[in-house]
Amino acid sequence: MTWKDYFTLIKVQPGRIVTPRFGTLDFSDPNLPVEKVQALFEDDFPYLQITSLGLETLYPVPPLAKLPFKKVEPLAPARRTVKRKA
Amino acid sequence: MLTDGKNLGGLANRIYFSLWYDVAAWPTDPSAPATIELAGTQSGDLVMKPGKRMFELYTTEDAAKLDINVIGEEAGKGYELLLHVFAPGLHKKLLGFMNATKNEDLVFIAMDSAGQNYLLGCEIRSAKFSASDGSGTGSTTDGRRGFGMTFAFRAANIYVYTGNILLTEALGSA
């Protein structure tokens, strides 16, 4: 897997961009470290979009915690109140 | 305060430039900044027009500098930034650069030795080639052969540019 599986370069041709955080990165190179690209994405780098695979792999949603099962007894039917005649 | 005691002078060996009218959007100057640090910081990127990009210009080590001069009179003070560059060799590409840019509106980004970028050019004003200094073949064999250039930009304020520098073409419809 390369960074290109997790992110898509947008708004620019694949090529070199000088970033304040990592200096010059060549986005035509599929071997850029995923960690660096992910860090840029998290810094709101405007030229990256995450793919569905990237979302699934890098930001997995934790499964919902299982709640203890508790049997719920059905409520007894409400009794009708009968008014007595005076 | 100096970060880890780092305080080297001078500029990095590469200067970035483009034509002023190839810029689609400019970084944002601070507006009512919350801190004094933010008052010296621009936010956002220099965005290029579709099909346009910035280019690199190599400069000899210890031969480039950015002078910051205060200009204007009382109540009208501003800054003049003078970018001095010496590009070695008199190769065709360099001469072509000079021919193409000497009368043009330009934008530069220069990085200092602390990694801070300075943008010369804004929405209303460009950087201009203003003087040549020490250009030519030199007179001795150990002399300097190349092109010394000074580019000038005047602005109300001076900021650190914190955006990215596109060395690849921007996409989109023109």
Which residues in chain B are contacts of A19 at CB distance < 8 A? 164
Q: Is residue B1 part of a domain?
A: no
Check CB contact of B78 with chain A, cutoff 8 Å.
Answer: no
Q: Which residue positions in chain A have pLDDT lower than 70?
A: 86
**Among B164, B168, B172, whose Cβ lies nearest the Cβ of A19?**
B164
Does A19 touch chain B if contact means CB atoms closer than 8 Å? Answer: yes
Tell me the C-alpha distance between B161 and B117, whole Å. Answer: 5
User: What is the β-pairing status of strands B128-132 and B146-155?
Assistant: antiparallel
Give the global pTM.
0.86
Q: What is the pLDDT of residue A36?
A: 96
Average pLDDT over residues B10-30: 96
Residue B20 domain flag: yes
Chain A: residue nearest B117 by CA? A20
Tell me which residue range forms the domain holding B74.
Answer: 9-155
Q: What is the pLDDT of residue A65?
A: 74
pLDDT in tens, B142-160: 989 999 999 999 999 999 9
Distance from CA of B91 to the nearest CA of A (A): 24
Q: Across residues B29-41, what is the average pLDDT? A: 93
Does residue B127 lie within any of the structural domains? yes
- Nearest chain A residue to B110 by CA distance is A18
Looking at the domain assignment, is residue B168 inside a domain? no
Rounded Cα–Cα distance for residues A26 and B104 (Å)? 29
Q: What does the pLDDT read at residue A86?
A: 66
> Min CA distance, B75 vs chain A (Å)?
35
Rounded Cα distance between B85 and B110, Å, is 10
Any domain includes B169: no
Instruction: Give B67-88 pLDDT, tens digit per residue.
Output: 999 999 999 999 999 999 999 9
Residue B87 is assigned to a structural domain of this protein: yes
Residue B148 C-alpha, separation from nearest chain A C-alpha, in angstroms: 25
Provide the number of structural domains found in chain B. 1
Higher pLDDT residue, A68 or B140? B140
